[in-house]
A and B are shown apart, each in its own frame.
Chain A
Amino acid sequence: MVGLDSYALTVGIVVGIWVLMALGLNIITGYAGQVSLGHAAFYAFGAYTTAILTTNLGWSWFVTMPLSVVVAAGLGVLLGLPSLRLKEDFLAIVTLGLGLVTQSLALYLPFTGGSLGIGGIPYPSVGSFSFGTDTFFLMVAILAALGVALSLWLDRSWIGLGWRALRDDELAARAMGLDVTRLKVLAFAIGAGYAGLAGSLLAHHLGFIIAYNFGFNESITALAMIVVGGMGTVRGALLGALLLGMAPELFRPLAEYRMSVYGALIVAVMVFQPGGLLGERSWVARRLRARSLKWRAKHG
């Protein structure tokens, strides 16, 4: 990693973790249309699974990392169950509540370290080789790229089409033979799995986690990322994660006003590009479509 100092790499790691968070929420909310304000709960489960198993039991990261995905996905199935009965604003409030409950559990349960958190989470290593910031960054980048590939694949798959049908009209989807229950649970499981992986990476990256890392703020940040970037698109989730993931660094001089800058950014996007900067109906997407049509008209 010649030329990249450890500061840049650290920012890169954080952005990569947020990419996974945003991609996961994009599956639940963007693809399948199920509003979730509790995405940080899955993030927390991934992080705590990794933290507890590596520090207490000394398990290796390549066991705990997949396990964090599985545990978070399992929680996703559980938290997804309310979506079978509740819609939109009600679902938003229930997921918000479940997110807060998860955070309080992390704060009060004995084995999560309570308000002291869990420290001493080791950096990943293989045999005698210990990961440095550069190799860890590389791993995060590869995992984020795999996350992008899976999201793109799902988007083009029949499940992805089912999700979009369900998002457009749930009742019609049922009447057309789509197993809406399975589609919803699947969206929550996969989306939560992404967040679980993000949480596991965060735990290894920071070496120390505490309940405050997984609050309402984190859920809202993930939501803001996909809203700003363009709900339901991978490119939107990527741009959102990049912009808002780097924002704390970019706006470091404005640290005090950071939330105001966030807020203003979101308001501006909502006013001028309500579908997100790179969403289906955004200015950029329309320009690109028009251009490709013109190109095709010209070159047959």
Chain B
Amino acid sequence: MAEPLPVLLEIHGLTRRFGGVTALSEVSFGVAAGSITSLIGPNGAGKTTLFNVVTGIIRPTGGRVVFEGRDVTGWGAHHLARAGLARTFQNMRLFGTLTARENVIAALGARMNRGFFGGLRRSQDPKLVKEAEKLLAFVGLERQAGEVARELPYGMQRRLELARAVALEPRLLLLDEPTAGLVQAEIEDLLRLIDDLRRRGMTVLLIEHNMGLVMGHSDHVVVLDHGAKIAEGDPAGVSADPEVIEAYLGREDDE
């Protein structure tokens, strides 16, 4: 990359304490617009906590989050979602009793930010249904549109969750271990989808546990360990960093 890309998300000195435990300690980094940035680190490094703070699920103890030049620290989750930040969850949090189509429509409708009377309109509005089915087709679930989410096979649920997040038309998509529990073929499909989304102009921030997997798909890698950033850079540089290697290899026995 010759020209430095504008920074979409800036994280400044982000800290989060839970009682006496410091889950995040003064973490700072930026996510360049149009990039795929990976957040890696061993279990308990604070990756999901960072996601939760950035997406407004929990408040930071200190530090700032700046999205598209606006300070969004402490904003509620639903405001951030409407402002262009969408996410998936490590343990998948679909609307289990809703159909695949309804899961996507829920996010589509929220984006439209309707008032009370708009909210009285039919949820199965033909325009919403069409848009939802386009998104389901994108993740290969066009035939499962009418099926109840919790009855779908695991791999399909993962893709449904991605479709639901994309329905918000985010500028920044945060994916929390999207490949967890998937078999190799499914992982490759999913990575292809992520590349596709990036080509459509979405910036992706990805949590990944498996370091080998992110290397071919990331422009930038940030490494967390014990709540602190220990390295960042391009994939090759980071994977050669002795501190990173130690964080991964040195503690494999106590995982």
Contacts from A to B (Cβ < 8 Å): 153-154, 156-162, 164-165, 167-169, 171-180, 186, 280
Contact = CB atoms under 8 A, between A and B. Distances in A.
A171 B57 contact: yes
Contacts of B98: 161, 164-165, 168
Given A157-B122, A168-B98, A169-B96, A174 B109 contact: no
A165 B118 CA distance: 17
B93 A161 contact: no
Interface in B83-135: 86-87, 89, 93-98, 102-103, 105-107, 109-111, 113-114, 116, 118-125
Given A161-B102, A178-B78, 7 more contacts: A154-B120, A161-B123, A164-B97, A168-B97, A168-B98, A171-B57, A174-B76
B168 interface: yes
A174 B95 CA distance: 12
26 contacts: A154-B120, A156-B124, A157-B122, A157-B123, A158-B114, A158-B120, A158-B122, A159-B116, A164-B95, A164-B97, A164-B102, A165-B95, A167-B97, A168-B97, A169-B93, A174-B57, A175-B81, A176-B86, A176-B107, A176-B110, A176-B167, A177-B82, A177-B107, A178-B78, A178-B106, A180-B78
Contacts of B55: 175
Given A156-B124, A158-B114, A175-B57, A165 B106 contact: yes
Contact of A173 (B106, B116, B123): B106
A160 B109 CA distance: 12
**Chain A residues touching B, majority SS:** helix
B93 A153 contact: no
B16 interface: no
A70 to B, nearest CB: 16
Nearest to B125: A158
Contact of B119 (A157, A172, A180): A157
Contacts of B121: 157-158
A251 B40 CA distance: 66
A289 to B, nearest CB: 12
A158 B119 CA distance: 5
Contact of A169 (B95, B102, B113): B95
